[in-house]
Amino acid sequence: MLKRRQLLTKAGIAGAAATTTLAAPPVIAQEPIRWRMQTYAGATLGQYVTQPFVDAFNKAADGEMVIELFFADQIVPTGELFRAMQAGTIDAVHSDDDSMASPVEVGVFGGYFPFATRSILDVPVLFEQYGLKDIWKKAYADAGGVVWLSAAGQDPCNFNTKKEITSIDDLSGLKLYTFPTAGRFLAQFGVVPVSIPYEDAEVAVQTGELDGMSWSGITEDYTVGWADVTDYFLTNNISGAWIGSWFANEKKWADLPDHLKQLYMSCMEGGHTFRNQWYWGGEAKLRATGDKLQLRTVPAKEWKEVENAAIKFWDEIAAESETKAKVVQIFKDYNKVINSAGFPYNND
């Protein structure tokens, strides 16, 4: 009798436990937040300029959020990046305002605005110390649908060509792959700007559709293979640093938890630091030791004509709107400081 009661008691306890277990709600693993990002850069260059951010963020997010990176033109053409991001086709973008045809007044200053900068560190200084950050934020807020997050510098805009350039006259007739505003500026010297998909540029040189590029510094020429299809590198540049930015779809950014926003920004800043040293060191090393491109230089006195033309170009842009005039004035103020600072801020 005692054994029977003990058995019934144990059975009752087990039954209650089973009922409790069955009644508990199932635990469902939450799916990570997923974003699609597209960069202006092709796959080879993208692994240095955008991939480090994506890898760092995905690792630190620990499964809570995952960013999938797409390279130049893989989802949409670079010139359609703004509209695609605004529509939510793409969640985030790394590009310059100029190439992605941002419908904002500051768009003309993205990429390579002639002689606005002399080195890679000028870009963060201009944004953080001279007020460009607030101007860019407002411009994109007014456009709607896209949030501007940060800007950073990269390499200068030199020339790598099949033809030897030793004077300004040698620019005339050259068919060059370049940025929209840079091409608009260079056209006055006889350059023929050619707009083609990024990944087609190398083959276009081989077929004669292009004579070269005015798109980057020497680091990119060697990295992406352009040094294999061109012969000369002109050490003169039309801008000391690319102005590129990071953007996100406005709603997707607003919906992110604050801690993921902070993580995103931190990893992005880490990417800026990586590019600073990668470009700065690469430009020096490849000029000094690179064996694929022959270096050429237009004498400084002659190149001064190009620099003077840039000042006139600035004034033409400034006359287009109050916002553009404000940005141009910042460039002028900063250049005045640089010109007065002496070495190493300028070559005087």
pLDDT in tens, 230-260: 999 999 999 999 999 999 999 999 999 999 9
| Token pair of 319 as six digits | 């006359």
What angle is formed at CA 221 by the lines to CA 219 and CA 224, rounded to 5 degrees? 100
Q: What rounded mean pLDDT belongs to the chain?
A: 93
Residue 144 domain-assigned (yes or no): yes
The rounded distance, in Å, linking the Cα atoms of 54 and 37 is 9
| Token pair of 320 as six digits | 């287009």
| Token pair of 244 as six digits | 């590129």
- Range of the structural domain that residue 53 is part of: 33-155+241-289
Residue 198 domain-assigned (yes or no): no
The predicted-structure confidence for 183-205, as pLDDT tens digits, reads as follows: 999 999 999 999 999 999 999 99
Residue 331 domain-assigned (yes or no): no
| Token pair of 301 as six digits | 């006195």
The rounded distance, in Å, linking the Cα atoms of 330 and 23 is 67
Query: Is the pTM value of this prediction over 0.85?
Result: yes
- Counted domains in the chain: 1
Q: Which residues pair with 93 in a beta bridge?
A: 38, 247
Residue 50 domain-assigned (yes or no): yes
Residue 80 domain-assigned (yes or no): yes
Q: Domain holding 47: CATH number? A: 3.40.190.170
Residue 215 domain-assigned (yes or no): no
What is the residue-level pLDDT of the chain in tens, covering all 348 positions? 445 445 444 445 444 444 444 455 554 568 999 999 999 999 999 999 999 999 999 999 999 999 999 999 999 999 999 999 999 999 999 999 999 999 999 999 999 999 999 999 999 999 999 999 999 999 999 999 999 999 999 999 999 999 999 999 999 999 999 999 999 999 999 999 999 999 999 999 999 999 999 999 999 999 999 999 999 999 999 999 999 999 999 999 999 999 999 999 999 999 999 999 999 999 999 999 999 999 999 999 999 999 999 999 999 999 999 999 999 999 999 999 999 998 888 865
| CA distance readout (Å), 40 to 54, 252, 265, 270, 284 | 14, 20, 19, 19, 24
Residue 53 domain-assigned (yes or no): yes
308 burial class (0-12, 13-18, 19+ CB within 10 angstroms)? exposed
Closest CA to 241 of 107, 89, 104, 123: 123
